[in-house]
């Protein structure tokens, strides 16, 4: 196959390597011409995925029309920039099988990426697959054993993605629960910021375990209300992704939280980051969605207060610990 990948960040580059290892021709689109030129020249994405050798069958480009003849298109553009990128570059992808690899909820509209694609370019449900799970680009590109899930309303579309991208070190399961897989991948980033805050405050394993467990309860509450299958949240795009994002040194969202716990401001952190931490914007969208549906998300609420209202992290944790006592389930 010829596979087009839109977005040459770390994750897009890692997926380009996976596709190339499977014998596909890969067109990797980068917004910045300098990034594309450097990839073709050095066979390495020094900016976003340094130290990883990129196969020769990966052709980087900044020309939007280069993906016109792709059989399958992977979207690895950050959620908050996807709509503007689709409108600005007018990628020739209508009618193609679209695989989304980003994680987030669009701020303002509260739309999941499948909904954004349907609204902006009319992507049909059966032409859409979301791939999500515990999968840091740095490890995937180096052949560290990884499992993810591909979800689509079309079983055959999910199977095409399984066959196209599964390798001996990158195993893809499939699911029919697009809503659950999209929301699990998006909402876990909010909890990862909270987990990072506890790391920055040098709290212990007990605290981290409590955040992961109760954070998963929040994700499942909102997700189920929005139509997801609750079982999905015990799987790769739920518990699996939540665990790795809350604990890994590769997690940008956890790192944002850690730096806040150490006393840095959000403004300082964002000014120093080249990559995107999706959980910051998703915190806003998640709370607004929760409010619309009357769902309690106390951890997300405290993360919002810390990020955007300057609340002291220790005070936020104290408030969580002294909420009214109740049954667990």
Write phi, then psi, for 167 (nearest 5 degrees).
-135, 175
> In angstroms, what CA-CA distances link 270 with 32, 126, 154?
20, 37, 38
What percent helix, strand, coil does the chain show, rounded to 5?
55, 15, 35
Four-CA torsion 201, 202, 205, 210, nearest 10 degrees:
-10
Among 96, 103, 188, 208, the active-site one is 188
**Residue 27 pairs with which residues in a beta bridge?**
4, 59
Radius of gyration of the chain (CA): 19
Residue 174, Cβ neighbours under 10 Å: how many? 16
Residue 91, Cβ neighbours under 10 Å: how many? 22
Q: Say whether 311 is catalytic.
A: no
- Please tell me the distance from the alpha carbon of residue 152 to that of residue 193, in angstroms, as a whole number: 28
Write phi, then psi, for 78 (nearest 5 degrees).
-50, 140
Task: Please count the residues of the chain.
Answer: 329
User: Cα(first)–Cα(last) distance of the chain, in Å?
Assistant: 47
Within 8 A by CB and 6+ apart from 264, the residues are none
CB 200 within 8 A of CB 261: yes
Within 8 A by CB and 6+ apart from 214, the residues are 299
| Catalytic annotation, residues | 188
């Amino acid at each position: 196959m010829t596979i087009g990948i839109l977005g040459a960040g770390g994750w897009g580059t890692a997926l380009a390597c996976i596709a190339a290892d499977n014998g596909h021709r890969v067109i990797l689109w980068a917004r910045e011409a300098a990034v594309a030129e450097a990839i073709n020249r050095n066979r390495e994405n020094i900016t976003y995925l340094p130290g990883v050798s990129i196969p020769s069958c990966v052709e980087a480009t900044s020309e939007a029309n280069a993906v016109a003849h792709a059989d399958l298109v992977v979207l690895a553009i950050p959620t908050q920039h996807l709509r503007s990128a689709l409108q600005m570059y007018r990628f020739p992808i209508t009618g193609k099988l679209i695989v989304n690899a980003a994680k987030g909820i669009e701020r303002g509209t509260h739309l999941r990426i499948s909904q954004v694609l349907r609204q902006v370019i009319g992507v049909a449900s059966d032409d859409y697959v979301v791939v999500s799970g515990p999968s840091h680009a740095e490890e995937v590109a180096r052949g560290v054993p990884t499992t993810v899930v591909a979800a689509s309303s079309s079983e055959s579309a999910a199977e095409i993605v399984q066959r196209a991208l599964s390798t001996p070190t990158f195993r893809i399961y499939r699911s029919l629960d697009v809503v659950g897989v999209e929301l699990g991948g998006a909402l876990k980033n909010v909890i990862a910021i909270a987990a990072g805050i506890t790391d920055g405050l040098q709290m212990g394993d007990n605290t981290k375990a409590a955040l992961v467990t109760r954070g998963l309860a929040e994700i499942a509450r909102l997700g189920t209300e929005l139509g997801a299958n609750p079982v999905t949240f015990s799987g790769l795009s739920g518990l699996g992704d939540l665990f790795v994002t809350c604990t890994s040194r590769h997690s940008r969202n956890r790192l944002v939280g850690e730096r806040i716990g150490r006393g840095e401001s959000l403004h300082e952190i964002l000014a120093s980051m080249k990559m995107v931490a999706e959980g910051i914007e998703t915190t806003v969208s998640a709370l607004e969605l929760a409010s619309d549906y009357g769902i309690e998300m106390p951890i997300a609420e405290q993360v919002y207060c810390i990020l955007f209202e300057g609340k002291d992290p220790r005070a936020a944790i104290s408030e969580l610990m002294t909420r009214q006592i109740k049954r667990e389930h």
